[in-house]
Structure 1
Amino acid sequence: MSTKIYDAFRLDVPSLLDAYTLVDSFRHQLIPMREELMARRYAGDMISTLDMLALGHMPDLKDQTNPSLYGFVNNNWHEIERELIKGHRSPLHDFGCEIILYPHEGEIYGQMLVEQSSYREAWFDNPSVVDFHYQNQTDGPDNVSEEEWEARSDIWDAIFNRHPSSTMALCGLTITCAPERGLCNRSTIEELRKAAPSYESRLDKVARQAICDMFLRSSSADIEAFRPSDFINFHYRVRNFLDEERGKAYLAEVKESLDSTNALVRELGEDVVMAKLDDLLKKPPVIPECAVPDNLYERRIPHNLKP
């Protein structure tokens, strides 16, 4: 029984050979996209580490001994690569893409196995690729009739019933369009600088984190007893506060304070990339204080424990 068939499609092509040609063309289209995404993520990981050091947060070094910024990020990417090889997910760092083709009764159907949304958008932008997803626990989209929705169910059931295990790879032809492995980037400093997030976006992100840190430090709540879900709720409440007028004004004040004191390194230079983490670690910046919003530290009570 088909349940959730995500990123599924029907190809408006006359034959399996034409379908393969279409996928092969897409595979070549992904090469520069993958390189750009990897450089952007690699630079983003460097910047995130650098900015957390600016807030006084030393990352978990595991078995590393005060590595350089480059060494720390590079070692992390090696570890992520090992986890991907084991079959574990890492959506932000999985740059792979596979397409499975299912010939069925004169038509070519398929699925895309992908984490990167830009790959997905590029594939479905092709006029020969027609959305054909299906979920049996919900009604179909407004632009799909009830009859077509039921027909999709029958088609996907027939496709996956070809093999006793209903394993996708055993029911069709799998084509690797981009490998998820081979992550470790060899970008130059100049390429990393170009791919890095803008100073303005970094300043906004760091200011929000600094505000969270300040609220946590000034809390009388038992933070040690917080569960992961409590911290998630806490961050949601802070975010909601910063979306209000009072919060927006405070966020602007904190950003101005961080900017005026040069709390952030403005760009990735070779001196920064090769510097040891201990040398980049700073004391938490002093930011303007703010009255703590109501209910910020209220712990969420699981439904099964509520009276």
Structure 2
Amino acid sequence: MRSTMRKDAVVPPKKFKGTILVFFLWSLFSALLHAEEHNTDVAVIVSSQIRPYVMALEGLRSSLQQPLKIYYLNLNPELIRHNLSQEHHDLLIAIGPEASVLAWSNLNPGDKKIALMVLDQQKLLEDPEPCGVDLRIPIKEQIKLIKERLGGRRKIGILYNPMENRGWVEQARRHGSDLGVSVIPLRVHNRHEITKVLSSAYQDIDTLLFIPDSTVISMALLSHLVKDALLHGIAVVGYNHFFMEIGAVLAFNIDYERVGILGAELARDVLSGSKCRLTPPPFHIEWSEKVWKTINDYSGSLKSRSSGDVP
């Protein structure tokens, strides 16, 4: 008896069957990749339990989604050094400068390792091509954003110790020139010079950019410097939320949790055999309209006084 087929029967086309096969193979590949990721031995060394490091660790754990051996360096540094010399890990992730220095000094150059929450990694780790997320926001991007927000041909003063930030400020001058912005270096060698150098510079600058610098950055001193700059109509730009609390008009805030998430992406690249890279930090901008109005009011009063002096 010859078989017949109903006219309304649904017959999957060959293209549809091929799609099912591709989907099945991709699901199998994903499952194998997931299993391989979970079979890797990944250790994390955290310098301490301060909030930025904890946030980066949370971002790393939530995104990497695999068991991690976590060590806190400040709790038992000698034990961690011993473990590093005795154990082998497929990947070591260091969070914070102390943890990163320990990892780079104890592991072989070919060992897989990532550094997070570290400023100027090449210099600190003496490695021209480290793998990780730098905490230094690219200066060209900072100057560009300052110009976009504050407008005009800005005259940006930067307080810094040349022993620590000479190269960085030289870069700032070059990029500023390309963007039509003047960068005025304000060199200091100790904290006793800061107030005098800044007071002398007020007539030459309209913006004061703070950068990470161990000579300049002091919580007790910063509050005074920012308030004094504001009294002279100088727009202050900082690199974290604290500057907004003490009177800055603009701040570049690094997202520490996203640093950890970015670290997880790098970890997957490293474990899959891809070449790692040093990437800039994710950040967002904070802006104070109230402070900006104060600065504009100051500038307006200066112009009024100047025009009033003209006979």
TM-score by length of 1: 0.24
RCO (CA 8 Å, sep 6+): is it higher in 1 or 2?
A: 1
TM-score by length of 2: 0.24
